[in-house]
């Protein structure tokens, strides 16, 4: 399969006065053409940091410590500001979680969407009015001819999210990173937005990295799922395989919570996500892992291929962290 | 049309404020120590002369009648006659007003010309020399009393260097020292507000969206940072100008600048209560008008506020 994105050994830290937050700490991940890759993880596991890195939008105090992010073979971490700018919004689009704060309150939404064309094709924004109206139609914003003149505060949350989506797809990018695009919306609107993203994927053959803490949602739309825990990936595989047979103890716990929820008996995982300033030694999940072994607090398991699935656990695939 | 409707409504809603202010001024002036009638009559006047003057001024009438007379007169546009000058108060104010306006505008213009770039650059490049200068200016503006700044400037430029006049308003050069004094005070505040406002907008999420579109940094800064950051800055500028139009009392007095501020001081020393009343009322009016103007500018920049304001009218 054709790779659109290839992340290799990526580490992104936040250097703060109180310590270094290891938000993304050794991530390897591929994104294939036309797929929806889901990234699931608890709050604070580093999902947004990963999303911003892929979109080339990291800002201080974030710092790339090591690794590569190859987009079509080009390492976007090593591009100049100008080169990066020509990719942002044109080749890679991003959709953020909170449609309220991600739009500028003092410009009309039509103007803000038109800016994408202005940035990459030049000329006056007004010139692109028809394109913007067509985009609004594509993302199913009713009455687009009038809506382009609306200000963000005049639109509902779902409508604003559609505006942000129309921005991300304006230049038909090859990759869209959606960072919790539905978390701030009502359930019914959530479903519509998910459906819309799915349609866009089919129509443009775009790859979508869909980030959420809601694994159940990913089971419905993702082709593959990557599970993130405390700055690392613990398991990556095809959605139905992960659902049917989760291999990593953390994934097992998440899936069992989902199954129990269906029987209305939720049993959440004990404990909470560790500090990313001082993560636990060895396997980061060991303080919460029901299968923990003595060596788990000493050896940091590597992500290894187990019959096409990637898992990082000392119990699985004979991985002993020595890189076997 | 919505704007006109809005203005009419705002003026209408200012009436209670105005009446409250009138009552406050009226009481304040009457509880101040000193008898205006005796003051006008002079120290050696006979008791009957004092009594006569008191009757002329209406001071012998019951207090509520005096208040009603006062309000009626004000509504007719009659601010009374100055006790000291014998001329209509409104004339005294209008005569001094141009001096105050020009001083206010020049001082605010100097402050804006320096504080805005300084605040913006120090927000964008927090480790630069400019940022350091900005901190020093904010500190001076915030911590030094205005008369102290005035005295230092007079000492340097008038006494030592003999470059600039230190009192009066006889030539355009006379405005330089008072304007710089005032602008230094304004600048401190304005630099600080500008810097913090720009920093706040810089870290806001919509700036990330603007970057994600692939817009040039220059456009992101001007369009999505500075214009948003302007909103709180406009408020501060409006309030500053409003304050100054009421007369910069200390600066005008130190530099013998013949504006509203020094007129007020004269009026207070002379117990010219009619004039004091008139000036304070004028200040209240200026304050109300400036507030309306600031809100309109605000609405022009921020569509959220525009919607709320226009819808209410
Ligand atoms: N700008 C920042 N400055 C400092 N620390 C940050 C910053 N952004 C994120 N972090 C820290 O990095 C870690 C990972 O945060 P990140 O936002 O990537 O997680 P997330 O999985 O997206 O969480 P959420 O589900 O809450 O969005 C957290 O510990 C967070 O506190
Ligand atoms: S490595 Fe050990 S602690 Fe970590 S998930 Fe596997 S069994 Fe649990
Ligand atoms: Mg996040």
Q: What is the mean pLDDT of residues B267-286?
A: 87
Residue B242 pLDDT grade (very low, low, confident, very high; cuts 50, 70, 90): confident
For residue range A86-136, what is the model confidence (pLDDT) as tens digits?
A: 999 999 999 998 888 999 999 999 999 999 999 999 889 899 999 999 999
Q: What residue ranges define each of the domains in chain B, with the CATH number in brackets?
A: 2-75 (no CATH), 90-303 (1.10.3720.10)
Give me the residue from A86, A106, A153 closest to B214, CB to CB. Answer: A86
C-alpha of residue A63 to centroid of ligand 3, in Å: 17
User: Which secondary structure element, helix H or strand E, spans residue B288, and what is its range?
Assistant: helix B273-301
Q: Which residue has the tokens 């009603």?
A: B68
* Least confident segment among A68-77, A277-286, B213-222, B243-252: B243-252
CB pairs under 8 A between A and B: 74
Neighbours of ion ligand 3 (CB under 5 A): A 48
Q: Does the pLDDT at position B109 exceed 80?
A: yes
Ligand 2 pocket residue status of A301, Cβ below 6 Å: yes
Chain mean pLDDT for chain B? 86
Please give the pLDDT value at position A132. Answer: 93
Please give the pLDDT value at position A191. Answer: 87
CB-based contact B231:B298 (threshold 8 Å): yes
Buried b (16+ CB within 10 A) or exposed e, B15-39: eeebeebbeebbeebeeeeeebbbb
Beta carbons of A153 and B217 less than 8 Å apart: no
Q: What residue ranges define each of the domains in chain A, with the CATH number in brackets?
A: 3-91+174-274 (3.40.50.300), 102-170 (no CATH)
Cα separation of B117 and B121, whole Å?
6
A45 Cα nearest atom in ligand 1: 21
Residue B82 pLDDT grade (very low, low, confident, very high; cuts 50, 70, 90): confident
| DSSP helix/strand/coil, A266 | coil
Q: What is the mean pLDDT of residues A251-279?
A: 75
Mutate to test the pocket of ligand 1, among A17, A21, A39, A277 (most ligand atoms within 8 A of CB): A21
Beta carbons of B228 and A104 less than 8 Å apart: yes
The C-alpha of B209 sits at a distance from chain A's nearest C-alpha, in angstroms, of 6
This model of the complex carries an ipTM of 0.90
Q: Say which residue, A209 or B8, is predicted with more confidence.
A: A209
* The model's pTM: 0.84
For residue range A146-177, what is the model confidence (pLDDT) as tens digits?
A: 999 999 999 998 899 999 999 999 999 999 99
Q: What tokens were used for B255?
A: 């530099």
- Side by side, which strands form the sheet with A175-179? A92-95, A175-179, A207-212, A36-41, A224-229, A232-238, A309-311, A304-306
Interface of B with A in 184-243 (CB under 8 A): 204-206, 208-217, 219, 223-224, 227-228
Mutate to test the pocket of ligand 2, among A315, A318, A320 (most ligand atoms within 8 A of CB): A315
- Chain A positions touching B216 (Cβ under 8 A) are 85, 119
Ligand 1 pocket residue status of A22, Cβ below 6 Å: no
Q: Does the pLDDT at position A263 exceed 90?
A: no
Q: What is the mean pLDDT of residues A71-80?
A: 92
- Chain B positions touching A160 (Cβ under 8 A) are none
Nearest residue in B to A103, CA atom: B206
């Amino acid at each position: 399969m054709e790779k659109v994105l290839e992340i290799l050994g990526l580490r992104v830290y936040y250097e703060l006065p109180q310590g270094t937050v290891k938000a993304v700490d050794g991530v390897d991940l591929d994104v294939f053409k036309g797929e929806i890759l889901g990234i699931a993880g608890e709050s604070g596991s580093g999902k947004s940091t990963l999303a911003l890195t892929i979109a080339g939008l990291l800002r201080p105090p974030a710092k790339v410590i090591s690794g590569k992010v190859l987009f079509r073979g080009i390492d976007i971490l090593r591009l100049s500001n100008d080169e990066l700018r020509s990719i942002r919004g044109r080749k890679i689009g991003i959709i953020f979680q909170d449609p309220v704060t991600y739009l500028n309150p003092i410009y009309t939404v039509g103007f803000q969407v038109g800016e994408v064309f202005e940035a990459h094709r030049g000329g006056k924004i007004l010139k692109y009015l028809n394109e913007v109206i067509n985009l609004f139609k594509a993302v199913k914003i009713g009455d687009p001819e009038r809506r382009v003149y609306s200000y963000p505060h005049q639109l509902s949350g779902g409508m604003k999210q559609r505006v942000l989506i129309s921005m991300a797809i304006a230049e038909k990018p090859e990759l869209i990173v959606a960072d919790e695009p539905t978390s701030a919306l009502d359930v019914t609107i959530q479903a519509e937005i998910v459906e819309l993203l799915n349609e866009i994927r089919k129509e443009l053959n775009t790859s979508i990295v869909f980030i959420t803490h809601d694994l159940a949602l990913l089971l419905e739309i993702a082709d593959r799922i990557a599970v993130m825990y405390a700055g690392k990936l613990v398991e990556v595989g095809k959605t139905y395989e992960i659902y049917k047979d989760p291999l990593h103890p953390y994934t097992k716990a998440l899936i069992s919570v989902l199954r129990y929820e269906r029987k209305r008996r939720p049993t959440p995982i004990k404990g909470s996500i560790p500090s990313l300033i001082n993560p636990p030694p060895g396997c980061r999940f060991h303080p919460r892992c029901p299968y923990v072994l003595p060596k788990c607090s000493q050896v940091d398991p590597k992500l290894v291929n187990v019959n096409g699935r990637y898992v990082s656990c000392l119990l699985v695939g004979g991985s002993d962290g020595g890189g076997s | 049309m919505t704007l006109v409707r809005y203005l009419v409504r705002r003026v209408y809603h200012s009436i209670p404020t105005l009446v409250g202010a009138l009552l406050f001024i009226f009481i304040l002036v009457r509880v101040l120590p000193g008898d205006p009638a005796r003051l006008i009559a002079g120290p050696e006047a006979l008791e009957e002369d004092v009594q006569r003057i008191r009757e002329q001024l209406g001071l012998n009438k019951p207090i509520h009648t005096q208040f009603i007379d006062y309000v009626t007169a004000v509504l007719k546009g009659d601010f009374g006659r100055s006790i000291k000058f014998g001329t209509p108060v409104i004339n005294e104010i209008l005569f001094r007003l141009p001096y105050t306006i020009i001083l206010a505008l020049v001082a605010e213009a100097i402050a804006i010309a320096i504080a805005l770039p300084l605040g913006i650059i120090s927000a964008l490049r927090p480790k630069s020399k400019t940022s350091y200068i900005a901190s020093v200016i904010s500190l001076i503006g915030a911590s030094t009393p205005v008369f102290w700044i005035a005295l230092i400037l007079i000492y340097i430029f008038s006494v030592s260097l003999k470059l600039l006049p230190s009192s009066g308003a006889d030539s355009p050069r006379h405005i330089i020292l008072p304007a710089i004094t005032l602008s230094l005070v304004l600048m401190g505040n304005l630099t600080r507000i500008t810097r913090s406002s720009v920093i706040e907008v810089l870290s806001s999420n919509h700036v990330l969206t603007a970057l994600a579109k692939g817009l040039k940094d220059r456009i992101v800064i001007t369009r999505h940072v500075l214009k948003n950051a302007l909103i709180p800055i406009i408020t501060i500028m409006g309030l500053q100008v409003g304050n100054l139009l009421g007369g910069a009392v200390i600066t005008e007095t130190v530099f013998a600048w013949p504006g509203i501020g020094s007129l007020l001081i004269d009026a207070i020393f002379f117990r010219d209560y009619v004039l004091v009343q008139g000036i304070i009322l004028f200040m209240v009016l200026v304050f109300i008008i400036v507030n309306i103007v600031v809100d309109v500018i605000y609405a022009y920049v921020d569509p959220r506020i525009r919607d709320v304001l226009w819808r209410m009218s």
